[in-house]
């Protein structure tokens, strides 16, 4: 049983590092950045579930974390829609800091 937990732990860490890699390298569009952040949150949720299942704790903390991740995703999508409506695209180069 210990072999499976180490295997799942290494997969979750690999997922997290893949999300960090995609966040650093593919930041041309806002949608790519948001998707890589969601991927990192999914891998950290998996790590949290693995840790909570190993100590036999309640699942309420995991559900609370999942609720916060869903709220963060909804906020990110609403910001994406607002930016596309105001600027016409989601390129980071087209955003002007001096513009309101």
C-beta separation of 45 from 63 below 8 A: no
Mean pLDDT, range 31-60, rounded to an integer: 83
**Greatest distance between any 2 Cα atoms in the chain:** 56
* Model confidence at 77: pLDDT above 60: yes
User: pTM here?
Assistant: 0.77
How far is 28 from 7, CA to CA, in rounded Å?
33
pLDDT tens, 10-37? 888 898 999 899 989 987 888 888 889 8
Specify the pLDDT at position 3: 65
CATH T-level assignment (fold) for domain 2-87? Helix Hairpins (1.10.287)
Task: Give the angle 35-33-89 at the CA atoms, nearest 5°.
Answer: 105
State mean pLDDT over 65-93.
84
Cβ atoms of 92 and 30 within 8 Å: the answer is yes
Q: How confident is the model at residue 7 (pLDDT cuts 50, 70, 90)?
A: confident
What's 91's DSSP letter? B
Domain ranges of the chain: 2-87
């Amino acid at each position: 049983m210990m072999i499976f937990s180490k295997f799942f732990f290494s997969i979750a860490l690999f997922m997290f590092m893949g999300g960090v890699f995609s966040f650093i390298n593919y930041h041309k569009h806002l949608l790519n950045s948001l998707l890589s952040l969601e991927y990192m949150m999914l891998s950290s949720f998996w790590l949290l579930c693995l840790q909570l299942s190993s100590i036999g704790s309640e699942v309420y903390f995991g559900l609370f974390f999942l609720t916060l991740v869903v709220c963060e995703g909804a906020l990110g999508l609403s910001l994406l829609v607002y930016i596309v409506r105001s600027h016409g695209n989601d390129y980071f180069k087209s955003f002007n800091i001096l513009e309101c």
